Amino acid sequence: MHQNQSHPNGNGYLFDQFLQDGSNKRTDSYGGSFENRARFLLEATRAVISVWGSDKVAVRLGPSGSFGDMADSNPEGLFTYVATELGKLDLAYLHLIEPRVRGNVEDDTRDPNPVAAKLIRSIYPGTIIAAGGFKADTAEAIIAAGDANLVAFGRDFISNPDLPERLRRKAPLNPYDRETFFGGTDIGYVDYPFYDQRVAA
């Protein structure tokens, strides 16, 4: 967890396993209906808020994610319900993973109307951070459309320690090496050059 206490939801983690009916086969009060499947996430979020305050708590959701074969028979209904309930908690932000990958592989066969920031924005009153394969132009577009307040970058930030400055200057980006993402060494984490270093070389 970082400065804002953010649940590591989405991507097949425990909260996601409770939310989605592809994995949640429970028959008690934590399975079945949207309300029941969302109960664990909402109870945990309220518990964290009771300690840290809502302005320091955020939740991350992957409504269109399929990591680890995650799936739901009605993702629009489920995640609009969850977003509506989270909207009552005055969170610091709601972090949404836009559809970009299937598992951990790039997927260009995206649903033209995914359950993503555009849909959630219509029902969620607070700050939305969108993430998922954004480049400078697509980040600017989603913010200009009003579908997200902020955009998060992951892979490009790993390979570009000066990413905000590169985006501001419209400078080329270092390509990332997915093979080093989980290597456990400094290779692929602290050895990418800053743009000014690259130009000087």
Q: Which residues are catalytic?
A: 13
Q: Which residues, in sequence order, are bridge partners of residue 115?
A: none
Which residues 6+ apart lie within 8 Å of 16 measured at CB? 9, 10, 23, 62, 65, 70
Residues 131 and 165: their CA atoms lie apart, in Å, by 19
Answer whether 9's CB lies under 8 Å from 15's CB.
yes
| Residue type at position 138 | T
For residue 53, how many other CB atoms are within 10 A of its CB?
12
DSSP string, 110-147: --SS-SSHHHHHTT--S-EEEESS--HHHHHHHHHTTS
Q: CA-CA distances (angstroms) from residue 33 to 28, 78, 102, 120, 198?
A: 10, 9, 26, 20, 54
